[in-house]
Each structure stands twice: as C-alpha cells, then as structure tokens.
C-alpha cells in the first residue's frame, strides 16, 4: 500500500509519455491533478483510520523499506497541496504547450522523489530520493534558460553537490560502524558503538549538509538566488515544499528517529535556528524584489522550525511539524500572489507598485492573510504554530531563545507589513491604472490556500487534539 | 595487509587527499568546467570511501549495490550540471565564474 505513494507518480509519468503527445499536452495536467487529490484523500483516510496500511500486492513486488507516522502524514498532505496548486496555476504561468508538458514531467519526478523522502526508512534510499528531487529541481530552476535562472541553478548545484558529498561520506562512516543503513539498525548501532569520535564526525557532516539543503544561515547563499531567479510556477513548488522536504523534514526525521537528541545536537540546532531567524528577517527588511523578500522570509521561518526542533521535546517536534505545514501553505500562497502580481504589472520591484489593493482585491486580501499568518497574528494558523514553538522553548527552559522567537516575530510583522504597504496600500501609481485582477485560474488556488489558513486557525482545538497530541504522545 | 580496518585507514588517507584536491579545484579555479571536475573528484572520493567501508565491515555486497547506484546518480547529476554550464556559456560567451555576479542582495 505504502509503495503506491512512490509508484503511482512514477507510473503516471510513464503513462503521459507513452500516450499520444499532442493529446497529453492538452489533458496531461488535468489527468495528473488526480494524483495529488487522491493523495490528500488517502492521507485523510489513513489519518481517520478508515484505510489501513497493510502491505498490499504492490509491496510484494517492490520491497521498499517504508513506514508512515503522523509526521509523514502531515508532510504527504502538504506535498499534495503544493503540487496541486502548482499544477493548477501552471496553465496560466507557462503559456507554451511544449514547455508546459516538460514542466509537468519534472513536477511528477519531484513528486515521486518527495514522497520517497518522506516514506523511506533507510539512509541510502533516502540519499537516492534526495538526489532524484534535487536533480529535477536543478532543471526546474533553469527551466526557461534565462541567464539569471542558470546562474541561480549553478550556485545551487555547487552547494547541493557539496551537501551530497557530505551526506554520502557520513553515510559511508555510519555504514562502516553499523553494517547496515536502515534507520532502526543505525539507531541501535549508534547507541552501542565504541567509535564515539567517528560518530560525532559523521553526525556533524550530516547535519551541516542538511543545513545546506534546507538553506539555513550560514549556508543560505544559494536560496535567495534560486528562488528569485526561478520561473513563476517553479518558485511556488520550490519555496512551498521542495527545500522543506529536502532539508528540513529530513533533519526532523533523522534527528528524532536516528541520531537522537544529544546536548550538542540540540545546541547546534537551536543556535543555527535562532541565527537563521534573525539574519533572514533583517535581510528581508532590506529587499526591494518581491520574491527575494519572500525567499529571505523563508529562511527566517525555517529557522523557527529548526529552533523548535532543537528543544528535543515532543512538543517541540510537534510544533516544528505544524509550522512546516503552515509554512508550506502561506509561502506557496505568497508565491502565487507574487506570480499574479508579476503577470499583471510586469514587475517584481516593490517600489514600482503601490495601491494595488483597489485593482486586485482578491490578490490583496489573500496576500494580507498570508502575511499576517507568517507574522503570527491570531487567529490565523501561523499564530498557533508560533505559539506552540514559544511554549516548547519556554517549557524546555530555553528562555532566551523563547524571547528571541517572540521578538523576531515582531520583525516578521515589520517586513510583511512593509511589503503590504508598498505593494497594496497607499496611492495607486498612474502607470498602474490599467492593471486588472488576475484570471480565475490563479485566484482559485489563492482562495483555497487562504481558506486553509483561516480554517486551520479557526479549527485549531480540533487539530491540536487530533494531530498534535498524537505526535507528542508517540 | 590482513586487517581490514588497517586497510580502511590507509585508504582514508587517499580519500582525504582526493577530497582536498577536489575542494582545491572548486575553490581556486575560475573555470566552470573545472568546478565540475572538482565535484567529480569529490564524488569519486566518496565512492572509494563507500567501497572500503563495505570491505572493512564485511558487507561488500551491500556496498557494491550502493556504489553502482551512486555511479548512476552521479552520471545524471553531472549531465544536468554540464547542461547548465553550456547554457551559461551561450549567455556569457565565456566559462568564467566571475561573470556570475548578476544576482545580489
């Protein structure tokens, strides 16, 4: 049953390439929409206990070592939402049919890779799926072959290759010690091993490499370039879920179920998290490009996730996963907004915009909701996850970090409101008189995502009981 | 050389030398193709490390599987990277890293 999460996207990739190409250019995207929708339904069904996950016939053919828990369910759901949104807006952001078809193929490869990352229980398979997703991402970033995009992609390639080499060396050392690479065996072996120095060394390389993949300070150089130079549809996918799955989810999974929370690991995670929060927020304050601001905001928000993970308590992990979900929602919403703005006004420079709320009311309102959720305004979803993060920090005795988290949230509000102020409020500039609201195809995903932000915020007590407590108790 | 672990440490010296050579190649050169060659050196070093780790703990079959997978992944990776270098060459008419200064801030 579980291997279907990996096999079905791969299979549909083959199917859309085997069927007549002219036909698939027209309906390929529509057909592929079934996949993320089905994944969302299946995740909800597994979550409610309606569907059980016993090994089915597919698992006897493909003997992956897979497992699922609440963290993976949340991730699978977020992946499905962001893929769905990307496929929905694709038609409006990529006009050329050939390019759209290539884009669809790459998105499906990324989908396969991310589902694999979330489900595998083995270090080497994890590496393989990381690499599948990363290579598909390189091509996606340089998709339109613009000069800037190629430059951003090349920077990403260099840093990502260094991270890959680090991950592989670390896997080789762990393999030397434990003789196997499955999570359970490695966890046992690391506990009982005599080679303390080798383990610490391997762990340090692994964590550093994942920091590069997740774009955390001080390895964030590639992230803003890659996000801002990538095409409009691509940066939604990239910022919404890909780097979070590659770097952050992997970090959560490995630290919580393989490496364990040493004092040093906790210290490093919290320090890097706090550093990313602060530097990301200050860098975002000085930006004039809409997408670059969002990229730095992304670094800052990922910092929150890592800071919360660094508590090492079940509440911290639950808060990290919840914030990861919220981040996927509001960041992809903001990137859809930026795509709509760029499409309608022809610029991403925020100083050249202003007063657009009158002309693009739905884009304005949804991006205001997303900004406030990012900044942690009650009662939106971002508030609850930040509250949980601060609580986790406070209860585990890290008062200084809790205060940093609260204060940095003011900075977040600062840059997000400055964005709103420069783009949507104020006087309408004369050259923007003829700007119209984006087409319905772009507004529809915005409304869905904004609905999720408001809905999760309003239904928080239900989510706390059904989603967050199970993670804590486990 | 009968002790597998002794062989491991000796090979480690070569792995580290290869890694230093690769990193040196990446950080010193201004040529995009040479950067890719540096990355290749680094990946080769890791491949060697995986082989010898499997030899040292008597799981040679498993490490063979890893290495074959790794070689396939590496080929795909380098092919894509080389494609991007070609794209950059078409735009800049040069392979100089110093021309990649467009994105800032």
Q: B82-98: per-residue pLDDT in tens?
A: 999 999 999 888 888 88
Query: Which of B45, B46, B87 has the CB atom closest to A150's CB atom?
Result: B87
For the segment A286-312, what is each residue's pLDDT rounded down to a tens digit?
888 888 999 999 999 999 999 999 988
Domains, chain B, ranges and CATH? Answer: 4-99 (1.10.287.3510)
- Confidence at residue A106, expressed as pLDDT on a 0 to 100 scale: 93
**Above 70 in pLDDT, residue B62?**
yes
Query: Which of B35, B46, B76 has the CB atom closest to A135's CB atom?
Result: B76
Query: Which of A124, A158, A229 has the CB atom closest to B103's CB atom?
Result: A229
- Confidence at residue A21, expressed as pLDDT on a 0 to 100 scale: 84
**Average pLDDT of the segment spanning A229-235:** 88
Determine, yes or no, domain membership for A288.
yes
**Above 90 in pLDDT, residue A221?**
no
CA distance to partner chain A, nearest, from residue B2 (Å) = 17
Determine, yes or no, domain membership for A374.
yes
- Confidence at residue B104, expressed as pLDDT on a 0 to 100 scale: 64
Sole residue written with tokens 């609440």? A70
pLDDT band at residue B2 under the 50/70/90 scheme: low
**Residue A307, token pair as written in the block:** 């800071």
**Above 50 in pLDDT, residue B1?**
no
Residues in chain A closer than 8 A to B88 (CB atoms): 147, 150-151, 154
**Average pLDDT of the segment spanning A389-410:** 91
CB proximity A189 to B under 8 Å: no
**Average pLDDT of the segment spanning B1-24:** 84
Beta bridge partners of A120: A66
Determine, yes or no, domain membership for A247.
no
Residues in chain B closer than 8 A to A131 (CB atoms): 73, 76-77
pLDDT band at residue A430 under the 50/70/90 scheme: confident
pLDDT band at residue A474 under the 50/70/90 scheme: low
Query: Which of A147, A173, A176 has the CB atom closest to B102's CB atom?
Result: A147
Among candidates A125, A120, A130, A119, which has minimal Cα distance to A46?
A119
Asked if A172's CB is within 8 angstroms of B50's CB, the reply is: yes
**Above 50 in pLDDT, residue B51?**
yes
Residues in chain B closer than 8 A to A172 (CB atoms): 46, 49-50, 53
Query: Which of B8, B59, B103 has the CB atom closest to A179's CB atom?
Result: B59
- Confidence at residue A181, expressed as pLDDT on a 0 to 100 scale: 87
Average of per-residue pLDDT values in chain A = 88
For residues A399 and A51, the model is more confident at A399
What is the distance between the alpha carbons of residues A297 and A375, in angstroms, rounded to a whole number? 10
For the segment A168-205, what is each residue's pLDDT rounded down to a tens digit?
999 999 998 888 888 888 888 888 877 788 888 999 99
Residues in chain B closer than 8 A to A415 (CB atoms): none
User: How many structural domains are present in chain A?
Assistant: 1
Cis bond leading into A218, ω under 30°?
yes
pLDDT band at residue B11 under the 50/70/90 scheme: confident
Average of per-residue pLDDT values in chain B = 88
- Confidence at residue A30, expressed as pLDDT on a 0 to 100 scale: 86
- Confidence at residue A334, expressed as pLDDT on a 0 to 100 scale: 93
Determine, yes or no, domain membership for A447.
yes
Residues in chain A closer than 8 A to B73 (CB atoms): 128, 131, 135
**Above 60 in pLDDT, residue B105?**
no
pLDDT band at residue A63 under the 50/70/90 scheme: confident
Domain that holds residue A392: 281-292+307-474
Determine, yes or no, domain membership for A267.
no
Determine, yes or no, domain membership for A466.
yes
What is the distance between the alpha carbons of residues A152 and B104, in angstroms, rounded to a whole number? 11
**Average pLDDT of the segment spanning A76-96:** 90
Determine, yes or no, domain membership for A119.
no
Determine, yes or no, domain membership for A208.
no
What is the distance between the alpha carbons of residues A300 and A284, in angstroms, rounded to a whole number? 9
Residues in chain A closer than 8 A to B84 (CB atoms): 138, 142, 150, 153-154, 157
% of chain A residues with pLDDT over 90: 43
CB proximity B18 to A under 8 Å: no
């Amino acid at each position: 049953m579980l291997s279907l999460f990996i096999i079905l996207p791969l299979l549909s990739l083959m199917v859309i390439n085997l069927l007549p190409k002219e036909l698939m250019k027209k309906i390929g995207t529509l057909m592929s929409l079934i996949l993320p929708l089905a994944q969302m339904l299946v995740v909800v069904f597994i979550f409610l206990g309606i569907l059980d996950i016993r090994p089915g016939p597919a698992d006897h053919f493909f003997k992956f070592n897979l497992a699922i828990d609440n963290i993976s369910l949340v991730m699978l759901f977020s992946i499905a939402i962001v893929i769905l949104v990307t496929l929905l807006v694709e038609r409006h952001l990529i006009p050329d049919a050939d390019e759209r078809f290539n884009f669809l193929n790459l998105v499906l490869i990324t989908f396969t890779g991310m589902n694999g990352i979330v489900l595998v229980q083995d270090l080497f398979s994890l590496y393989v799926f990381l690499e599948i997703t990363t290579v598909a991402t390189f091509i996606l970033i340089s998709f339109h072959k613009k000069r800037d995009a190629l430059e951003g992609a090349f920077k990403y390639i260099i840093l990502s290759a260094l991270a890959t080499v680090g991950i592989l060396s670390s896997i080789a050392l762990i393999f030397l010690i434990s003789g196997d690479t499955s999570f359970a065996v490695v966890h046992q072996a690391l506990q009982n091993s005599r080679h303390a120095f080798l383990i610490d060394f391997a762990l340090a390389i692994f964590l550093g490499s994942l920091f590069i993949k997740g774009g955390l300070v001080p390895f964030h150089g590639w992230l803003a370039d890659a996000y801002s130079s990538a095409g409009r549809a691509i940066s939604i996918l990239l910022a919404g879920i890909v780097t979070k799955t590659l770097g952050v989810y992997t970090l959560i999974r490995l630290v919580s179920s393989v490496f364990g929370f040493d004092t040093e690991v906790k210290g490093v995670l919290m320090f890097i998290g706090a550093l990313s929060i602060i530097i990301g927020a200050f860098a975002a304050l000085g930006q004039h490009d809409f997408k670059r601001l969002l990229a730095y905001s992304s670094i800052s928000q990922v910092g929150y996730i890592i800071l919360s993970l660094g508590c090492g308590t079940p509440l911290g992990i639950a808060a990290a996963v919840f914030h990861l979900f919220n981040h996927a929602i509001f960041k992809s919403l903001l990137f859809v907004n930026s795509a709509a703005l760029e499409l309608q006004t022809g610029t991403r420079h925020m100083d050249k915009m202003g007063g657009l709320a009158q002309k693009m009311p739905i884009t304005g309102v949804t991006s205001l909701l997303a900004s406030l959720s990012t900044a942690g305004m009650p009662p939106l979803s971002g508030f609850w996850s930040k509250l949980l993060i601060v609580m986790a920090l406070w209860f585990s005795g890290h008062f200084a970090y809790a205060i940093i988290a609260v204060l940095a949230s003011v900075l977040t509000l600062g840059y997000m409101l400055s964005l709103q102020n420069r783009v949507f409020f104020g006087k309408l500039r004369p050259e923007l008189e003829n700007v119209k609201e984006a087409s319905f195809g772009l507004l529809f995903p915005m409304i869905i995502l904004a609905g999720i932000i408001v809905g999760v915020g309003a239904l928080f007590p239900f989510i706390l009981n059904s989603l967050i407590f199970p993670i804590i108790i486990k | 050389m009968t002790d597998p672990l002794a062989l491991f440490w000796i090979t480690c010296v070569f792995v580290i030398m290869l890694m230093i050579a690769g990193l040196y190649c990446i950080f010193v050169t201004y040529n995009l193709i040479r950067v890719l060659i540096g990355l290749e050196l680094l990946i080769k070093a890791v491949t060697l490390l995986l082989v010898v780790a499997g030899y040292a703990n008597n799981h040679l079959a498993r490490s063979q599987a890893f290495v074959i997978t790794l070689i396939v992944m590496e080929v795909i990776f380098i092919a894509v990277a080389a494609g991007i270098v070609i794209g950059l060459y078409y735009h800049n008419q040069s392979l100089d890293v110093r021309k990649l200064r467009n994105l800032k801030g």
